[in-house]
Amino acid sequence: MSSSAPGMGTVRERKGNAQRPLKALLVLLLFVNFAQGLYTLPLNKIIEQRLCREYYQEYDPSHVQADGTIDESMCKISQIQSRLATLQGIMETTWTIGDFLVTIPMSFVAARYGAKLVLYINLIPRACLLLWPALFNYFDRVVPTTSIIAAPFLSVFGGACVFETIIYTLTANMSDDNTQRATHLAWISSISYVVNLLGPATSAATMKLVVWLPLGIGLLLLASASMTIKHIPDYVHQLHPIRGSESNPLIPALSTETTQSSLKRDEDLPMHLAILHEFHEIFKLIFHPLHINIRLLLSSFVLTAVAGSNTYLLVQYISLRYGWTFTAAGFLLSVKSIFNLFLLTTLVPSLMYLASHVFRPVGLNSVAAILSLIISVIGAFGIGLSFAFWQLLTSLIIYAMGSALPVFKFSLLRASCVSGIVSSSSRSSDAHTPTQLFSLAMLSKTAGSLIGAPLMAVLWVHGIETGGIALGLPYFVSAGFYALAIGLIVMMKLEEETLTRIE
């Protein structure tokens, strides 16, 4: 008995050591996403008020009050809302383009110089994104309306794609157990829904005092995030050896020695050559003839990102369709997020634990992803068809049930590669680390957003101008993209089952 005690103590100590960086990651994610969650409502309000004032100063100055403000209900006309949608689309697309371009270089910087440096840099554009609307509002008589699009250009220092690549990579590498990893990823996703719960409600409540107050709170949260980063682990590579049950039949793991050798070689190269080498390795990884499932999974990331690109329109959609203020729409989104939070913190981990005794890891995540996508199709279509408030609320709850989709898709990605992947036929000595896979996943999501942001903006402007059922056009199109993603995951599952039989 005495001989086993030290071993048990070592296990407990190892688990405790693993939990500390995870808690730091969760706190960092909470601060950063909460700050971002406070951004949308005041941004909409500030831009709408500016456009509204310009419109009525030209066509009916009697509606402009002495302090330059206009009753919000007077701003829900197509001429103003279509311009608001256009500016939102430009800002979203601009932010996404910069983020997309720097994801791979920033992932390489994280691998060479540590994740902390990239996380610190990532706070710069986020802070500017919050600061600029407040300055835009304060100097409303000086700066032109179109200048609001300036801040998103700073995403060349990294945006959501870069940030989430680091967060998901670090989180997934903290465990080699599929169920535990899915639980960790569910916690990560649940943080997003805690923010979606608190963000709009906090923003709506504080906006009543002064419109820029949520932006100021966001800046304080980013300052807190900068102090949290020092507790984040500075590694982005594999912590645990691969387990046989989690390797994909197509892409067995590299040995640790091979991975370390490849990383050492990359460190010896000049940065620009190392980045080019990284692009070359990723190209080989995607387009290798045997890596069919990698291509299918990454394509599904693109499709679901296109489908989810209408998220930033939801506040304006609710406000315009039902004549609500942005404050009231913000409170409704907070109600929706309560269900998201319950789903990801309680229901998903429990179901994953029970189902893990029935399904193999890859099969379990495939089935769960397909079910989440089917629910998302129904929810998105329902939102587009919602003419009454009760229909909208029901559809939002259904749509929320599909919110666990990223958990299962990232688990599928991680199950395909734990320490690295390489073609079983070529047996290349080049390492493909989990960082590469998560970079690819986030790049795929960003590419989808890059397509989706202007597409949804165009559809939304057309819906505003047409009116009626056409207001739901972005959500009908989203349902179609979710349906296409179902086909890809089904193909991936069939491919995996075929390979298993061959093995």
pLDDT of residue 279: 67
Q: Is the pLDDT of residue 32 over 90?
A: yes
Q: DSSP for 312-339?
A: GGHHHHHHHHHT--HHHHHHHHHHHHHH
Q: What CA dihedral angle connects 478, 408, 20 and 4, to 10 degrees?
A: 170
- Closest by alpha carbon to 412, among 287, 190, 250, 282? 250
Return the pLDDT at 298: 87
Least confident piece of the model among 160-174, 182-196, 362-376: 182-196
CA–CA dist 158, 154 (Å, integer): 8
**Token pair of 420, please?**
């690295």
Q: What is the pLDDT of residues 107-150, one digit of tens each?
A: 778 877 888 899 999 999 999 999 999 999 888 888 898 999 99
Percentage of residues of the chain with pLDDT beyond 90: 21
Work out the pLDDT band at 168, boundaries 50, 70, 90: confident
Nearest to 126 by CA among 249, 229, 37: 37
Give the residue-averaged pLDDT of 53-68: 84
Percent of the chain with pLDDT over 70: 67
Helical (H) or strand (E) element with 164: helix 160-172
**16-60+67-502: which CATH topology?**
Growth Hormone; Chain: A; (1.20.1250)
Least confident of 29-38, 150-159, 284-293: 284-293
Q: What is the pLDDT of residues 74-114, one digit of tens each?
A: 888 888 989 998 998 899 889 989 988 888 788 778 877 88
| Predicted pLDDT at 244 | 39
* DSSP assignments along 30-55, one per residue: HHHHHHHHTTHHHHHHHHHHHHHHHH
The reported pLDDT for the residue numbered 123 is 95
CA dihedral 79, 325, 471, 375 (to 10 degrees): 150
pLDDT digits (tens, 9 = 90+) for 332-388: 777 666 766 666 666 666 666 666 655 555 566 778 788 889 989 999 999 999 888
Residues 280-310 pLDDT 10s: 766 776 776 666 778 888 898 899 999 988 8
- In angstroms and rounded to an integer, the radius of gyration of the C-alpha atoms of the chain is 23
Task: Quote the pLDDT of residue 435.
Answer: 57
- What DSSP state is assigned to residue 120? H
The tally of CA atoms less than 13 A away on the side-chain side of residue 398 is 20
Span 65-69, mean pLDDT?
Answer: 77
Residue 436: pLDDT band with limits 50, 70, 90? low
Q: What is the pLDDT of residue 171?
A: 78
Residue 253 has pLDDT above 70, yes or no: no
Of the two residues 342 and 168, the one the predictor is more confident about is 168
Q: Which of the four pLDDT bands, split at 50, 70 and 90, describes residue 152?
A: very high
CA distance 467 to 460: 10
Q: What is the DSSP letter of 254?
A: P
Of these ranges, 12-21, 128-137, 194-203, the one predicted with the greatest mean pLDDT is 128-137
Confidence of residue 241 (pLDDT cuts 50, 70, 90): very low
- The pLDDT, as a whole number, for residue 384 is 92
Least confident stretch, 137-141, 174-178, 391-395, 449-453: 174-178
Q: What is the pTM of this model?
A: 0.72
Q: What angle do CA 56, 58, 64 make, to 5 degrees?
A: 35
pLDDT attached to residue 333: 73
Looking at per-residue pLDDT, the higher value among 182 and 230 belongs to: 230
Whether the CB-CB separation of 208 and 228 falls below 8 Å is answered with no
pLDDT for 420 beyond 60? no
Least confident of 13-22, 28-37, 174-183, 482-491: 13-22
Alpha carbon distance 409, 441 (integer Å): 9
Report domain extents, the chain: 16-60+67-502
* pLDDT score recorded for residue 11: 46
